[in-house]
Amino acid sequence: MSGVIHTAPLVVPISRPPVRDGAVAVRGGRVVAVGPRREVLSGGGEEVRWPGVIVAGLVNAHTHLQFTRMAEVGRQVYDSFEEWSNAFDAVYFSSAGADWAAGAREGARLALRHGTTAVADVVTDIEAMPVPAQAGLAGISYLEVLGDTDESWQRTGRDHFVSTVGRLRGSEGMVGISPHAPYTLDTGVLADLAVLARRFRLRQHIHLLESAHEREYTVSGTGPIAQLVRELGFDFEILRAGGTGHGPVAFLDKLGLLGPHCHVAHGVHLDAEERALLRERGVSVALCPRSNRTLGLDGPPVAALLSEGNPIAVGTDSLASSPSLDLLEDVRVLHALAREQGYREPDLARRLVEAATAGGARALGLDGGPGRIGCLEAGTRGDFAVFGVDPDERDPYRTLIEDGPGRCVATVTAAHRNGRVHIVNPATEPRRGC
């Protein structure tokens, strides 16, 4: 079997410059060649001709697919993280018996429909853990941990967590852990999770500096987040000690949580010193600007992160805080934000499309090895999206950002043997043969 050769007027492999009249050959779910159409076709194989642009599959570096059916929460606009958090909790805690796996399956379908082929999926309810892999998505399901004091963790939480992880590691898909945030776990639990992640060789993903009040909480144990934590009945060490004297990034770093095995979400309120520490630790930041907007927050400091060289990725977050799972919409918002924040370099569009592909792969630690994703080159998973946009004379990356949102016509994943078409949106059937 010589595989399938997908051709299009423009191919954007990410790891090399875009190829006009290009081709991607896929065999056994892996890319075997990328280049000019004539050249790749000379290697033999069935041709599938696509209109528009083929781009490496998008990587949604922060989402919660199980909350797809909580879109009612995400359709409102809030004044603060705390206001949104209360609205979210009211719906979540009244959802006893909800079929979270079914919600996650709907989310996976939406993600695929918009060209996403890999996710960092934070999972609160264990039944949603295997869903991304079952749906054909690459990436990692991060088991979320929150709401444990040091005492409850030692009493039952730790044993339960260790046995759950042991069970999950034998099932479908890659497993990671997500200590939810610096304010929803006691200090000793956060430190222990850092130890356990290393012991089990699990990647970590943490919400960080989404709320404007997170800093006040870790520095002095005061403010709206401290109040929220008290109202939830958690007697955390930070509250008893009157804070740690450190901002959230330094706090997590001292507990051993930050390193290249970890990526964080949001980072809306990162200051220059914190951005430098994250760079030093090799921690990617998944930016979710439309979710931030729903919560009434500022946009993340994308211009500074780009200028200073922090590794970044892009996430939609869940439908409980975002209008859609169309990752390119977030890229478009980041593009506008970066310009507003003063980023003037001509590489902006390219760097943001890279953030949504190769940047996501790096954030998840999937930019190397046999299952690598994030670009199209020999050896990567045969995951790509086709956007029905006019591959005109513009910068191809700008074309994708300006015209790509809502225009994915097909998503192809390695989960389908020989790179067969996974989803076709409108009536844009590919043409077969020359």
Give the list of residues 6+ apart from residue 428 with CB closer than 8 angstroms, or none: 50, 51, 386, 388, 409, 410
- In 89-239, DSSP assigns E strands to 116-123, 138-145, 174-179, 204-208
CA 326/CA 315 separation, integer angstroms: 9
CB of 110 to Zn ion, least distance (A): 16
Closest listed residue to residue 388, CA positions, set 202, 133, 198, 114: 114
For 164-173, the CB contacts below 8 A with 24+ separation are: 164/126, 165/196, 165/200, 165/202, 168/126, 168/129, 168/143, 169/200, 171/129, 171/130, 172/130, 172/133, 172/134, 173/129, 173/130, 173/132, 173/133, 173/134, 173/140, 173/141
Residue placing its CB nearer to Zn ion in the complex, 210 or 216: 210
Least gap, CB of 287 to Zn ion (angstroms): 12
Tell me whether residue 47 or residue 317 sits nearer to Zn ion (CB atom). 317
76 or 156: CB nearest Zn ion: 76
**Binding interface with Zn ion (CB under 5 A):** 317
Report the distance separating Cα 249 and Cα 255, nearest Å.
10
* Shortest CB 63 distance to Zn ion, Å: 7
Q: What tokens were used for 352? A: 């943001």
Of the pair 81, 251, the CB lying nearest Zn ion is at 81
Min dist CB 265 to Zn ion, Å, is 5
Comparing every residue's Cβ against Zn ion, the nearest one is 317
| Least distance (Å) between residue 64 CB and Zn ion | 6
Least distance to Zn ion from the beta carbon of 296, Å? 16
Helix, strand, or coil here: 202?
Answer: coil
Nearer residue to Zn ion within complex by CB, 62 or 215? 62
Nearer to Zn ion, 80 or 307 (CB): 80
